[in-house]
C-alpha cells in the first residue's frame, strides 16, 4: 500500500495531464484516523496517518512522510517563512511555486508527471468549537490556521511572533479547494462553518482563556492542537494545506460530560466522504 503513490501518472486522451499524486491526511490519534478511513471508503488516492498529539508531533511526522515519499523539494527556510504571511491565499508561496501548485491553481504538467509525492495535505480530526460560532457536531473548514499561543508574554499582555517580527503565527490554506469543500458539505445538508482554526499547545479549560483567544482572533471558529504544525511541514515541502475539523466540545470550561466525541467522529467520517468527492 505504501508504494501505491509511485504509480499512475496518467495522460488523458485529450492531451491534458492529470495530477495523480496522492493526498495526505494527518490526524492526531487512531480514532480520528479510523473515522477518516471509513469516510474515504478505501480510496487509494489518499494516505491517512495518525501523527500524535500537538503541533510538534504533527510537523515532524508530516515532514518525514512528505520527504520519504517524494514529490516537492523542500523550500528554503526564508521562503518557508514568507509563505505563511497572514494571507488565507497562501497555500503555497511564490517562492515555492517551482516545487508545488499555488493555492487554488491547477498543477503544472511538470508537477503532475512527477512520480509519487503528494499534491495536498489535510489536517483532520475533532476539535473544540467556540460557542456561537461552531456547534457540537458541526464541521469546520479552516480558512486560516493560526498558532494561537506562539509568542511572548509582556507587561502589556500577549504579543505574537508577528508583532515581534520573528516570523508568522498564521498559515494560509488552498482557498479554492476549501471553498469547494465547504459548499459541498452544505449541499449535502451537513452543518458547516468556515473560519480560522486555532492551534494551541494547551487545550483551553477556562472561560477566561477562551475569551482571550477570541480577543486575539475574534473570527476564530475552532481550537485544535495540530493544524499549524501540519501546515509548517507542508509549507516547507511546497505542498498546499487544508484543515477539516468536527466539533466534539465547546471551547471554555472543561466539562467532560458535555463532550460528544462519538458524534464528532461520525461527522468527521461524513465530512471525509464529501472530501473524497470534492477532490475527484
- Say if pTM beats, i.e. exceeds, 0.95: no
| Phi, psi for residue 215 in degrees, rounded to 5 | -65, -40
At 73 the pLDDT is 52
Angle at 116 between CA 111 and CA 117, to 5 degrees: 70
Which run of H or of E encompasses 261? helix 261-278
The b/e string for 176-186 (b: 16+ C-beta within 10 A; e otherwise) is: bbbbbbbebbe
Phi, psi of 248 (to 5 degrees): -105, -20
d(CA 129, CA 223): 6
Q: Which residues pair with 145 in a beta bridge?
A: 171, 197
Q: What is the pLDDT of residue 18?
A: 66
Q: What is the pLDDT of residue 48?
A: 98
User: pLDDT tens string for the chain (280 positions)?
Assistant: 333 333 333 333 334 456 778 999 999 999 999 999 999 999 999 999 999 999 999 999 999 999 987 645 554 443 333 333 333 333 333 233 323 333 333 343 344 344 468 999 999 999 999 999 999 999 999 999 999 988 788 888 887 777 788 878 899 999 999 999 999 999 999 999 999 999 999 999 999 999 999 999 999 999 999 999 999 999 999 999 999 999 999 999 999 999 999 999 999 999 999 999 999 8
Distances (CA, A) of 65 to 58, 87, 129: 11, 26, 29
* Residue 132 neighbours by CB distance under 10 Å: 8
Domain carrying residue 142 = 2-278
DSSP annotation string for the chain: -GGGGG---EE-TTSPEE---EEEEEESSHHHHHHHHHHHTT-TTEEEEE--SSHHHHHHHHHHHHHHT--SPPPPHHHHHHHTSS-TT-SS-GGGTTTSPPTTSPPPHHHHHSSS-EEEEEEEEEEEE-TTTS-TT-EEEEEEEEETT-EEEETTEEEEHHHHTS--SEE---HHHHHHHHHHHHHTT--EEEEEEEE-SS---SHHHHHHHHHH-TT--EEESSHHHHHHHHHHTT--EEEEEEEEEESSS--GGG--HHHHHHHHHHHHHHHHHHT-
Separation of alpha carbons 23 and 43, rounded Å: 10
CATH number where 60 lies: 3.40.50.1580
Number of domains in the chain: 1
Amino acid at each position: 500500500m505504501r508504494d501505491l503513490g509511485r504509480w499512475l501518472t496518467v495522460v488523458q486522451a485529450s492531451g491534458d495531464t492529470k495530477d495523480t499524486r496522492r493526498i495526505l491526511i494527518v490526524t492526531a490519534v487512531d480514532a480520528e484516523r479510523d473515522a477518516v478511513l471509513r469516510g474515504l471508503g478505501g480510496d487509494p488516492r489518499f494516505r491517512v496517518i495518525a501523527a500524535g498529539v500537538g503541533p510538534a508531533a504533527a510537523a515532524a511526522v508530516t515532514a518525514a512522510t512528505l520527504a520519504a515519499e517524494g514529490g516537492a523539494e523542500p523550500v528554503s527556510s526564508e521562503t518557508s517563512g514568507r509563505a505563511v504571511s497572514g494571507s488565507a491565499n497562501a497555500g503555497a508561496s511564490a517562492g515555492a511555486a517551482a516545487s508545488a501548485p499555488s493555492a487554488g491553481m491547477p498543477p503544472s504538467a511538470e508537477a503532475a508527471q512527477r512520480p509519487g509525492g503528494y499534491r495536498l495535505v489535510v489536517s483532520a480530526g475533532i476539535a473544540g468549537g467556540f460557542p456561537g460560532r461552531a456547534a457540537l457536531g458541526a464541521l469546520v473548514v479552516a480558512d486560516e490556521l493560526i498558532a494561537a499561543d506562539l509568542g511572548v508574554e509582556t507587561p502589556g499582555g500577549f504579543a505574537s511572533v508577528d508583532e515581534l517580527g520573528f516570523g508568522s503565527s498564521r498559515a494560509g490554506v488552498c482557498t479554492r479547494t476549501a471553498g469547494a469543500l465547504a459548499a459541498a458539505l452544505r449541499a449535502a445538508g451537513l452543518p458547516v462553518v468556515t473560519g480560522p482554526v486555532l492551534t494551541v499547545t494547551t487545550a483551553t479549560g477556562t472561560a477566561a482563556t477562551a475569551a482571550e483567544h477570541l480577543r486575539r482572533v475574534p473570527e476564530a471558529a475552532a481550537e485544535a492542537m495540530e493544524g499549524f504544525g501540519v501546515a509548517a511541514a507542508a509549507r516547507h515541502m511546497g505542498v498546499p494545506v487544508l484543515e477539516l475539523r468536527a466539533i466534539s466540545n465547546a471551547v471554555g470550561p472543561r466539562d467532560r460530560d458535555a463532550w460528544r466525541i462519538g458524534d464528532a467522529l461520525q461527522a468527521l467520517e461524513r465530512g471525509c466522504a464529501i472530501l473524497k468527492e470534492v477532490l475527484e
